[in-house]
Amino acid sequence: MIDVYTASTPNGFKVPIALEELGVPYRVIRVNLGAQEQKRPAFLRISPNGRIPAIVDPDGPGGVPLSVFESGAILWYLAEKFGGLIPADPVERVRALEYTCFQIGGIGPMLGQAGWFTRSAPAPVDFAIERYRNESNRLTAVLEARLQGVPWLAGAVFSIADIMNFGWLDAPGYAGVDLADYPAVGAWRDRMHQRPGVQRGLAALR
């Protein structure tokens, strides 16, 4: 049984969705971010960056327990271990890695900052809101161009890249992104919601 340390946030849904899609049993351990549980020493031993999500696989390589932090690394580890969510086709495999990295370096931090400066900053900083909103929309346009040609981000096959990008694009208003402007992304989001594994993964945290 994999232990999943997580919370009900755009990054937090990724691991339950991946495990549901892979059909792997898991246990959710909720981390109270408001109470700063993610900064406690016991949690930092599992997730040195002090953020969710993280996992502990009691049956890691060589049968030794293994902790993994960073959602991209977690999903890659699970996909390799349990044999799914990474396309077999070598080109689609590279595309899955590309759009996974694109989320880690772009969609996640930029939409996160856009939302923070809009809703949580102690004082309004207009140029920061404008910069991060513009960048969030520019990045969403990159996904729009990709999804105009293929059903899933890797290509024909659903993959970890879709799970990685879904969390933030499922709550785009937080970052000032309106999916009415990105119809292919909106249709992809609808396809995601139709998947039973995605539905179960979301329900696991609600």
Ligand X SMILES: N[C@@H](CCC(=O)N[C@@H](CS)C(=O)NCC(=O)O)C(=O)O
Query: Cα(5)–Cα(43) distance, rounded to whole angstroms?
Result: 9
Q: Are 105 and 143 in contact (CB under 8 A)?
A: no
115 binds ligand X (CB under 6 A): no
CB of 111 to ligand X, least distance (A): 10
- Closest Cα partner for 31 from 63, 66, 3? 3
11 binds ligand X (CB under 6 A): yes
Which residue type, as a one-letter code, is found at position 54? Answer: A
100 binds ligand X (CB under 6 A): no
Residue (11 or 137) nearer to ligand X, CB? 11
Q: Which of 30, 37, 66, 70 binds ligand X (CB under 6 A)?
A: 70
Number of residues that bind ligand X (CB under 6 A): 14
Lay out the site mask for ligand X across 122-161 (x = CB under 6 A, - = otherwise). ----------------------------------------
CB of 114 to ligand X, least distance (A): 14
Burial of residue 166 (number of CB atoms within 10 Å: 0-12, 13-18, 19+): buried
Residues 6+ apart with CB under 8 A from 115: 174, 175
33 binds ligand X (CB under 6 A): yes
**Which helix H or strand E contains 5, and what residues bound it?**
strand 2-6
Residues 162-201 that bind ligand X (CB under 6 A): none
Residue (33 or 128) nearer to ligand X, CB? 33
10 binds ligand X (CB under 6 A): yes
Q: Which of 15, 17, 38, 132 binds ligand X (CB under 6 A)?
A: 38
For residue 31, CA distances in Å to 7, 65, 109, 136 come to 6, 20, 20, 27
Query: Cα(205)–Cα(7) distance, rounded to whole angstroms?
Result: 7
| Binding residues for ligand X (CB under 6 A) | 9-12, 33, 38, 50-53, 70-71, 104, 108
